[in-house]
Amino acid sequence: MRVARLHGSGDVRVADEPVPTPGAGEVLVRVTAVGICGSDLHWYEESSIGDAVLERPLVLGHEAAGVIASGPRAGTRVAIDPNVPCDRCEVCARGLPHLCPDVRFLGHGITDGAMRELIAWPQGRLVPLPDSIDDVAGAMLEPLGVAIHALRLAQLRPGDTIGVLGAGPIGRLLIRLALVSGASAVVATDRLPHRVEAARSDGATAALVDGGREIDVLREALRGRPLDTAVEIAGDDDAVRTAAALVKPGSRVVVAGIPAGDTTGIPASLLRRKGLDLRFSRRMNHVYPEAIALAGRIRPGEVVTAAHPIDEADRAMAEAASRAGSKVIVRPTPGADA
């Protein structure tokens, strides 16, 4: 089977490898679509993400859909839940499996991801897809799930205003999700003009990051009314500062972006004076049923702007790293919608 591995910064190689052998409780899944996430780009550009470093050639990709290829459910189209917690520790018992210290996650650490034709994965982490959700949208349920989890942490209520700082694929899904959830107004920022325009097309009042002047632009658009909550999804300290500047005292800022390196800075005096609740969002928690139910209204497949076959994985990664579009996907094997 064809497999794309990251050997170092900017070094993706596609080669033939043996088909994996499923372990206990696992089945083979033929991968039909896998998205390139911002976290994949940290691996690609920095050979690391946070405090995790590339220790061996790694298969990237955790936003994936496919078709079960072995066992009694063979032929079933599925979204692949990338998170396999231990289900034994105190964290899992508290209902926080996404924070499990012994979690196994596709495309992270020593666990190879989905950028290959076939993977062996636990049956319990394969979510059946209805016919109304195609392969590409099925892969995008994972980033939609990340958006759902972040919005839960933001505690958005109907009629609230919200800021989305960063208009990449997850930021765009957050904008759509907030509006569907009853937000009266969404404001957004990004450093790239085409992403600002995409945010506007998704329904946000958006401004290009411009040395802090975007704060005044958005305040004017809000007629001086502060935001009720905000989600930072840019991985950028300035975005945290903008969120803190725009929200009302006593409110919440959710930090969902991943910064370069393993250090971030916050505007401590501003956060302290406003008494803000700063929450950090990691991955997602029990969201697939909600993501599937919302897919028809959110249309997550629309954030995809380019698709490549597995043998062009290096080109796909470079294109995603250029940030020229929105979401780039790889099609390891053609699906019914290809």
d(CA 271, CA 245): 9
Residue 66 has pLDDT above 60, yes or no: yes
| Confidence at residue 320, expressed as pLDDT on a 0 to 100 scale | 95
CATH architecture of the region 2-128+299-331: Alpha-Beta Complex (3.90)
For 330, the enclosing helix (H) or strand (E) is strand 327-331
Q: Tens of pLDDT along 242-283?
A: 999 999 999 999 999 988 877 788 888 999 999 999 999 999
Residue 82 has pLDDT above 70, yes or no: yes
| Confidence at residue 86, expressed as pLDDT on a 0 to 100 scale | 93
d(CA 99, CA 82): 13
| Confidence at residue 158, expressed as pLDDT on a 0 to 100 scale | 96
Other residues' Cβ atoms within 10 Å of the Cβ of residue 302 = 18
| Confidence at residue 63, expressed as pLDDT on a 0 to 100 scale | 97
The token duo for 153 is 């942490």
Cα 50 versus chain centre, distance:
16
Please provide the average confidence, as pLDDT, over all residues in the chain.
94
Of the candidates 248, 171, 186, the residue with the CA atom closest to the CA atom of residue 221: 186
What is the DSSP annotation of 141-179?
A: HHHHHHHHHHHHHHT--TT-EEEEE--SHHHHHHHHHHH
Which contacts of 11-15 are long-range, i.e. CB under 8 A and separated by 24 or more positions? 12/44, 12/313, 12/314, 12/317, 13/57, 13/314, 14/310, 14/311, 14/313, 14/314
The token duo for 284 is 């997602």
| Confidence at residue 52, expressed as pLDDT on a 0 to 100 scale | 86
Each domain of the chain, given as residue ranges in start order, spans 2-128+299-331, 144-280
d(CA 31, CA 78): 9
Q: Does domain 144-280 have CATH number 3.10.450.50?
A: no
Residue 215 has pLDDT above 80, yes or no: yes
Cα 163 versus chain centre, distance:
17
What is the DSSP annotation of 35-82?
A: E--HHHHHHHHHSEETTEE--S-B----EEEEEE-SSTTTT-EEEE--
What is the DSSP annotation of 296-328?
A: HHH-GGGGEEEEEEGGGHHHHHHHHHHTSSSEE
Beta-bridged to residue 146, according to DSSP, are none
**249-266 burial code (b ≥16 CB/10 A, e <16):** eebbbbbbbbbeeeebeb
The token duo for 85 is 């917690």
| Amino acid occupying residue 202 | D
Q: pLDDT-based confidence at 338, cuts 50/70/90?
A: low
State the average pLDDT over residues 158-166: 97
| Confidence at residue 265, expressed as pLDDT on a 0 to 100 scale | 83
Q: Tens of pLDDT along 7-23?
A: 999 999 999 999 999 99
For 213, the enclosing helix (H) or strand (E) is helix 213-221
Q: Tens of pLDDT along 175-184?
A: 999 999 999 9
| Confidence at residue 117, expressed as pLDDT on a 0 to 100 scale | 98
Q: pLDDT-based confidence at 336, cuts 50/70/90?
A: low
Q: pLDDT-based confidence at 49, cuts 50/70/90?
A: confident
The predicted model scores a pTM of 0.94
